[in-house]
Homo-oligomer: A and B are copies of this chain.
Amino acid sequence: MGRMADIEAEGEATAGEVPDLGQLAGLVGYALRRAQLAVFADFHRSFAPLELRPAQFSVLLMLRQTPGLRQSQVADALAIKRTNFVSLFDGLVARGLARRVPVDTDRRAVSLHLTPEGEDFAARMIAISAEHEGHLTARLGADGRAQLLALLQKLLVL
């Protein structure tokens, strides 16, 4: 807690010198952000053939697991703003991967489903996800991976 108070200004920089990130690198928020960006960059490389972004991946995975969810359920569970979710899902519909189905018991509601094409797509997506996770596990080790997930979980209730 008191470690930041120890930070002292250091000498003048010279051009070309690589700036010292030391203080920042020791801060959890900064380290998290840099790691997240590195992992998402690997995600984008891995999923380039499917032209899939992380939020789209999450929605498809969730609907594959639980067909028929309401828009608000998926948006809330994934912490996506409702308006953003609508346009994200419109994109999946336009690609023929997902569809909205009217709910008999509630005229205002729609439930969300994958199309048959979406099911095939999700299967390919999951195979690529396993490769992508494999890259991360190769860096972390299986124990390190489990440790990391447990530590990250603790940060969700700040």
The residues of A with any CB-CB pair to B shorter than 8 Å are 1-5, 7, 9-15, 17-21, 23-43, 54, 58, 61-62, 64-70, 73-74, 77-79, 103, 106, 109, 111, 126-127, 129-137, 139-140, 144-145, 147-149, 151-158
- Tell me how many chains of this kind the complex includes: 2
B35 touches A152 (CB 8 A): yes
Which of B12, B33, B152 has a CB less than 8 Å from the CB of A68? B12
B151 touches A148 (CB 8 A): yes
B73 touches A21 (CB 8 A): no
Beyond A3-B130, A17-B73, A77-B18, whether A158 also contacts B144 by CB under 8 A is no
Which of B134, B144, B149, B157 has a CB less than 8 Å from the CB of A154? B144
Minimum C-beta distance from A144 to chain B (A) = 5
Which of B33, B65, B127, B136 has a CB less than 8 Å from the CB of A10? B65
Beyond A139-B157, A144-B154, A151-B147, whether A69 also contacts B13 by CB under 8 A is yes
B133 touches A140 (CB 8 A): no
Instruction: Please give me the 9 A-B residue pairs with the lowest Cβ-Cβ distance, nearest first.
Output: A35-B152, A4-B130, A1-B134, A35-B155, A13-B68, A13-B69, A42-B158, A31-B152, A19-B77
Residues in B whose Cβ lies below 8 Å from that of A23: 61-62, 65
How many angstroms from the CA of A152 to the CA of B38 in the assembled complex?
Answer: 10
How many angstroms from the CA of A129 to the CA of B18 in the assembled complex?
Answer: 24
Residues in B whose Cβ lies below 8 Å from that of A79: 34, 37
